[in-house]
Structure 1
Amino acid sequence: MSAPHFYLHNLGVPLLLAVVLFCAFDLTQLDVLISNQFYDPLTHTFVLEHDRLFEKLTHKLPRILPDTTGELAVIGMLLSFAWTLLPKGRFSAWLERVRVAPALRWLTAHRRDFIFLVVSFAITTGMVHYFKSHTSVWCPVETTLYGGIHEKREWFENFSLLHEAGEGRCWPGGHASSGFTLLALYFVARRYRWRHARALFIAVMTLGMIYGSTRVPQGWHFVSHTFWSGIIVWLSMLGTALAFYGRERLSQPALDAPRHAPETAAPGLSEGLSVSGR
């Protein structure tokens, strides 16, 4: 894939979607019209606002997947330094006998990938929190439209580049972003030209949309908050992946057959971070 083609798909398309999203939602009352369908004006509540089972199934339990992925990435990153730091001799021979050494070598060979996962999770999470604090958008249930005390305002009306804009923390969708952060796995798959990378991309995007959309009938987000979360996470993740892997490696076509790492994957790791820890 040529550079213009790559950036057209990975940068141009999300930016175009951002313009469409801005015009379709932020400049209209479409968000409100959709949320109104889930709001009962007689009881002044959203249909699933106080449903504890729905809250547990759609908000608390789903956090296990991104949280576990992040924790495993941190553990893998730390252990990726173990083989090069361990003294060679009887101890390493014992690790060979108990078959721990091959796992440590595999982690070492994939050190860059684990570091990428940790860094990309941190950067994208940081970007989401930055926009939350620098736009100060209140959630639907907190606005005067649905019984709250705060005025509904769009993110661009409050945006402050260098200072916190206020106490509102609803834009973009944080729960949706936790699902979208798994896009880091997609970029690792692209690096190794995994043939199922596109399916992984679709699965992660669907997961993020589900995470975010389930908050709408609870009154904790407008629909557009989820879309904006996906765009912000994608652009943040793309920039991080380009810094770690480079455009040429990410734009290579998928292989017809899966690769068997670490032996076949190790040569690509010599770029930048080497297995010696440099």
Structure 2
Amino acid sequence: MSHALGWRRTGTVGWELPVLLGLLLILIAVPAWHRLDLALAALFHDSVTNDWLMPKEGGLAHAILYTGARRLLGIGGGIAVLLLAWSGWRQGWSERHSRMALAILVLALTPMAANLLKQVTGVSCPVQELLLGGNRTGVTIWDRLYGLAPFEPQLRCWPAGHAAGGFGLFGLVLLTDRRRWLAYAPGMAAGWTMGLYQMARGQHYLTHTLATMLIGLLVAACASRLYGWQREKAVLSGDNRTDEPRAAF
């Protein structure tokens, strides 16, 4: 059984990876999505006062949904690493520990991938753009893809980096075999809560957050595929033991 996205697979390479890559390519390659971005951004922006629904800095919402969320995920990930190392040392490394390690890897790699892309794509934030009260012409991912705008290293708004921490919780899917689609709920809830907060501050468009969600799903799918390949290799070598429950942790 494939562990990627909780779907069964019929061949050596699952179809979820090309599907996710295709969706990400469609999101990147179709400029018409920007109309939806602008329409939704207008709901968060007051053109008369040039204010966004959420202030850029300060306030309880910023403390909880920005600073607090980042620290909680970082501290939680660090504690998970320590517990995994301690458990592996005390009990010996097992399949359960491999799953946990891959889940933590997804939590780490999702924001790393998003932030790496932010450094090299050169896309502006809504708050920076003239149409939404900023002081410069907007640069979209489509402008960059089709060579319509030069690369400007100070523009770092695609994809959404903050929401990537929440979407990193997609790695929880590695920890269960039953109703695996439910394991995506924490990542969806955290990622979109953090992403919508950033949209309400004018820091990202909807497509920025959608791209990060797809990146998170791709990272989780790759980790799940790696786990599946490891299990198949173990079965082929004659080691078909498992020491973990079949239900979610």
TM superposition score normalised by structure 2: 0.75
Query: Matches of 1:216 and 1:77 in 2, distance apart?
Result: 35
CA change 1:6–1:210 in 2 (3 A) is farther
| Corresponding residue to 1:18 among 21, 24, 30 | 24
Q: CA RMSD in A?
A: 3.1
Q: Tell me whether 1:111 sits opposite 2:97 in the alignment.
A: yes
The one-letter amino acid paired with 1:45 is D
The one-letter amino acid paired with 2:107 is F
The one-letter amino acid paired with 1:108 is W
SS in 2 for 1:181: helix
Q: How does 1:1-278 map to 2 (within 5 A)?
A: 1-4=8-11, 7-8=14-15, 10-22=16-28, 27-50=33-56, 52-82=59-89, 104-105=90-91, 108-109=93-94, 110-158=96-144, 166-189=153-176, 193=177, 195-246=178-229, 264-265=243-244
Contact 2:160–2:195 (CA<8 Å) still a contact in 1?
Answer: yes
Kindly state the Cα deviation for residue 148 of structure 1 after the two structures are TM-superposed: 2.4
SS in 2 for 1:169: coil
Structure with higher Rg: it is 1
Query: Matches of 2:230 and 2:32 in 1, distance apart?
Result: 33
5+ unaligned residues in a row in structure 1: which ranges? Answer: 83-103, 250-261, 267-278
The one-letter amino acid paired with 1:186 is V
TM superposition score normalised by structure 1: 0.68
5+ unaligned residues in a row in structure 2: which ranges? Answer: 1-7, 233-240
Query: Matches of 1:57 and 1:170 in 2, distance apart?
Result: 21
CA change 1:108–1:30 in 2 (3 A) is same
SS in 1 for 2:198: coil
Kindly state the Cα deviation for residue 196 of structure 1 after the two structures are TM-superposed: 3.8
Which stretch of structure 1 is more off in the superposition, 166-175 or 11-20? 11-20
Contact 1:183–1:237 (CA<8 Å) still a contact in 2?
Answer: yes
Query: Matches of 1:129 and 1:149 in 2, distance apart?
Result: 24
Query: Matches of 1:4 and 1:119 in 2, distance apart?
Result: 25
Identity of aligned residues (%): 22
Query: Matches of 1:24 and 1:202 in 2, distance apart?
Result: 28
